[in-house]
Amino acid sequence: MLGRNSRIGFRFCGAIALLIASAANGAIQATISPPVIDEMDTAQLVLRVEGSGNAEELDVGPLQGAFEVVDSSTASQINIINGQMRSWVEYRLQLRPKRTGALEVPALTIDGQSSPTLRLQVNPLGADVRDAIDRMIFFAVEVAPNPVHVQGQALLTRRLFYASGVQVYNDLPATPSVANALVVPLDDNNIGNVVRDGATYGVLEQRYALFPEQSGVLRIPEVSVTSAVRLPGGGGRRSGIRASAEAVEVQVLPIPAEYPADQPWLPAAAVAINEAWAPADPAFKVGEPLLRTITLTAVGNVAASIPPLNLDLPRAFFKQYPEPERLEDSQGTGGVQGVRQEAHSIIPVKPGEALLPGLSLTWWDAVNGRVREAALPERRVRILGEVLAPEPPPAAANEAPPDANPDQGAGAPPNAKQPLPRWLLALAAMGFVGWATTWLVLRRRTAGPRQRPADATEQAKIRQARRTLAKACQGQDCEAMRNAWLTYLGAVWRTSPPDTLVRIKGAPEAKELLDRLNATLYADVSTSAIDGQTLLRLTRTLIEENAEEGSAILPELHEFPPSASAKAS
């Protein structure tokens, strides 16, 4: 038994050695059939590698110049007969010629070996047959405008017309890859019917917006689809054809000499600047925050091409804090429309008459070929209220007993109680009047719709905002505390910045906290800052008291541990 196994093992090892030797001495055999075809037909190229049992990756790149590889497959086989092993791998390629005449099938390389070069004769169709096929399926390509200025929009439209009975094998070409240009698909493929030269065609349409990035010649490469048509006079025989759209060249012009050299270049069909406030009809009052949003719209260009504006307001009257900018692109019949939004939280800090400067943006009118300017006029506003003053210092430990006379004059002892300052009384009066007049209107809005449970993304956003607020409170940075506090409330309530401010104004507890932060941050002289621990504690109470049914389960808003300096004090 052992001897028989040994003989089998020797035979197997011998077979492996023979296979290795055959692979080393293998060669590539190549055939193409039929050797003569019409231009509408295909031919099969077969490559056989003797002495090999494993298929290698085949590079068909050398074929691309003269042929289209319609299909490919691989087969392998190993035979052992009377101890003799024979193996081979076959590569089968279905080729469609791209032109007529005597075509060379170039050598292909497999595992370091090259196939022999072959010849294929491709005979052209008759002129009448060729014309009939060209009327069955064809491309039409348009680019407008041409020429176009650099970074301006040119619309590329490709339409494939096909007659009744034509079968399109593959999908329409993908979005073109154009060197030195941004290509934006405008819509899905449009399908319809049209009558052309008295015949009815199905139409497949593709539209793209092109934005050249440098002047010169922009080349849009050719595209093609394969289809089957019934050949005229062919006895009903169908044949595959390749319909092609030729390459198109676009002339790209540089920036015009008359365009101001100190202005950012912006070509478009139309540009507009709009302004919005939250609340919609703002009342400018000292200490009450507003949200100003500037929207810039460019028809015929992307949002990234719209330059930012200088939105600085007079610092003597306003404090302002930028919100994250928003860039959005949309597609329509006229191409791309870019929208840039810049928003600022604004707080008046001084009463009086203030000027909101006008805004302007220079752009190139690509339709009429001239320099134009989009503008937002300046605006004068009246700010009501009183100058923010410092809060009174905290009462001393030895202050007068509760029954002390509150009306003592200037000669009263230092620890005597003083009447509330006028600014605080005025601020409280304005807050009460504003709340009383707007509460009924805003009550339904501030309550908001019944909220759904927060998902994982919203919970993560709340946790991040909570960590940022706790860090700001621990650092006793009043400005950071205010910004983080507004962000945290917006995350918890799931409201936008304008709606967050509206909701704060409608909630007495939240408005009181905002007034205290504003009084600390925007007074002309130093005040006693609101304590971070106090802000965290009051915020927690505020959220718990105003929690809505079905709202998010909030992460714990823990008070931060006292710092080393606080412990020492």
Fold match flag (2-123 vs 267-383): yes
Over residues 236-262, the mean pLDDT reads 85
Instruction: Tell me the pLDDT tens digit for each residue of 259-285.
Output: 999 999 999 999 999 999 999 888 899
Class in CATH terms, 2-123: mainly beta
**pLDDT over 90 for what percent of the chain?**
32
Say whether pTM exceeds 0.75: no
- Going by pLDDT thresholds of 50, 70 and 90, the confidence category of residue 187 is confident
443-469 core/surface letters (b: 16 or more CB in 10 A; e: else):
eeebeeeeeeebeeebbebbeebbebb
In CATH, the number for domain 267-383 is: 2.60.40
Which region holds residue 63: left if phi is over 0, alpha if psi is between -120 and 50, else beta? alpha
- Going by pLDDT thresholds of 50, 70 and 90, the confidence category of residue 480 is confident
Inter-residue contact 133 to 108 (CB < 8 Å): no
pLDDT attached to residue 188:
74
- Going by pLDDT thresholds of 50, 70 and 90, the confidence category of residue 454 is low
Inform me whether the pLDDT recorded for 452 exceeds 60. no
Inform me whether the pLDDT recorded for 96 exceeds 80. yes
Closest CA to 280 of 293, 296, 295, 261: 293
Domain 128-253 has CATH 2.60.40: yes
Which region holds residue 479: left if phi is over 0, alpha if psi is between -120 and 50, else beta? alpha
Instruction: Tell me the pLDDT tens digit for each residue of 372-418.
Output: 999 999 999 999 988 765 545 555 444 444 444 444 444 444 444 44
pLDDT attached to residue 392:
52
Q: How do the domains of the chain map onto residue ranges?
A: 2-123, 128-253, 267-383, 422-568
pLDDT attached to residue 268:
96
Amino acid 255 reads I
pLDDT attached to residue 563:
42
Q: Which of 105-109, 149-153, 421-425, 551-555 shows the lowest mean pLDDT across its residues?
A: 551-555
pLDDT attached to residue 169:
63
Inform me whether the pLDDT recorded for 162 exceeds 80. yes
From residue 48, how far is each of 28, 78, 112, 445 by CA, in Å? 5, 13, 14, 77
